[in-house]
Structure 1
Amino acid sequence: MKIVRRIGASPRERGSVTGETCPDIFELSDGNFAVIGTEATAALDTELPSDAARADYERIVVVSRETLIRAKADIPDA
């Protein structure tokens, strides 16, 4: 599995010059996506809807609204 490309604008393009707040989205060679975000499992786990669940090896991460909106144009439809 390898990173194929960034989805959306880079953190620098979104105004991060310090590298301290760098949520990011990447497309992987197997067609999946990898997300860099703020780990929020403890804060949001009990907030998941009743029809949602996560495995012990999965984490809930938060990405900024701007990151996702600016990635929208690069996300394939299929």
Structure 2
Amino acid sequence: MEIVRRIGVSPKLRGSASAATCPDVFELSDGNFAVIGTEATAELKDKLPSDAGVADYERVVIVSRETLVRAKADIPDA
């Protein structure tokens, strides 16, 4: 699996002074997406809707609104 491209703009272009703690979205070679965000599983797991769940190998992450909104134009429709 490889990172094919960034989805949206770089953290630096969103105003980050360093890339040390910045949310980001990437498209992978298998067509899936990888997300860098703030880990929030413990805080949000019990607040998920009843038809949602988190497997042992999954984590709930928070991505800033700006990151996702700025990535929208780069997300394919299909």
Do the two structures share a fold, i.e. TM-score over 0.5?
yes
1:33 lines up with 2:33 in the alignment: yes
Shift in Å at residue 21 of structure 1?
Answer: 3.2
Deviation string 1:32-76 (CA, Å, 9 cap, x unpaired) is 000000000000000100000111010000000000000000000
How far apart are the structure 2 equivalents of 1:6 and 1:30? 14
How far apart are the structure 1 equivalents of 2:43 and 2:20? 21
Q: Secondary structure at the match of 1:13?
A: helix
Matches within 5 A, 1:19-58: 19-58=19-58
How far apart are the structure 2 equivalents of 1:63 and 1:73? 16
Identity in percent: 77
Structure-2-length-normalised TM-score: 0.96
Q: Secondary structure at the match of 1:34?
A: strand
Shift in Å at residue 18 of structure 1?
Answer: 2.4
How far apart are the structure 2 equivalents of 1:51 and 1:9? 33
Q: Secondary structure at the match of 1:46?
A: helix
- 1:55 partner amino acid: A
Aligned to 1:7: 7
How far apart are the structure 2 equivalents of 1:52 and 1:21? 28
Stretches of 4+ moved more than 4 A in 1? Answer: none
How far apart are the structure 2 equivalents of 1:19 and 1:28? 20
Q: Alignment RMSD, CA only? A: 0.8
How far apart are the structure 2 equivalents of 1:64 and 1:29? 24
